[in-house]
Amino acid sequence: MASLELGSVSVRMHAFNIVKSEIQTRLIPLLNSVSGQVLDLQDVFRRFSFDNICKFSFGFDPCCLELSLPMPASEFAEAFDLASKLSAQRGLSSSSLIWKVKRVLNLGSEKELKSAIKMVDQFAQRMINQRRELGFSDKSDLLSRFMATKIDDDKYLRDIVVSFLLAGRDTVASGLTSFFWLLSQNPKVEFAIRDELEKVTAAFSPSDEKDFVMFDQMREMHYLHAALCESLRLFPPVQFDSKFAQQDDVLPDFTFVRKGTRVTYHPYAMGRMERVWGSDCLEFKPERWLKNGRYVPENPYKYPVFQAGLRVCLGKEMALVEMKCVVLAIIKRFNIQ
């Protein structure tokens, strides 16, 4: 159901308009206000992506990217961050027994985690209740779309939306942060993107919006797409991932995988392997993705940044469009050092 929804033109245009509004009304004014100063771009991008994913998922605006950069960004964002952080820390424990005992006794980090999750759950429930009271048939956010399909299991709805928040917040922020760091080290790439931007926008009619690159124009920017793919090769937001075999299986190289086995792959390491990408594997080189000036995709099993096969990332296209919008809006107006 999510795959069908996210693949529809109406949903993609809805997401594009949310991103466009956030850039025009918050991101650009903020960057204008601090021009010539030092700014924590990672913090800015995390606020930006959280605003976007909340609007898209819930139809709720947490206003994290206000000009004053409020601290905390919002109570919901703070609880969400803490729950994510403490959940991840469980995996760093020398033994799972430690956090399980703390959970039973409701102590320390497990007590904090329980409180943070409760706040996230309560917020999600408020959003669901509001939709029921106000109606959802004319709303475009993800929650409303799922509710319109007659799903009335509140826990199920909450889990869907929270999983989209997890998937769409830190990944985009991480991808943008790495990209601008690489761009600051590679002025030739920055120049090439600006050059492509000028050529593509000049080819469109004067009636097109001049302050914002439109959806159709972005599809013609092959070098920009290549640069983003190259950045994600070197700095994938999800550095490693795991799957568990539901049944006995055999991998393409004839490795037998027993039912219940955990199989982990590591996009970060794979993107830096000489035998996979060649002797220049550590270089930031967008040209490796281009053939006669046009972007040519790699085999997703060689480049599993968005996963591959039946489990390919549902939000891949939306995430790339969001990143492109930000890159073009900033590069058109500012030099980032």
Residue list, annotated binding site for heme: 313
Integer angstrom CA distances of residue 77 from 54, 132, 176, 270: 10, 24, 19, 32
The one-letter amino acid at 16 = F
The annotation places the binding site at 313
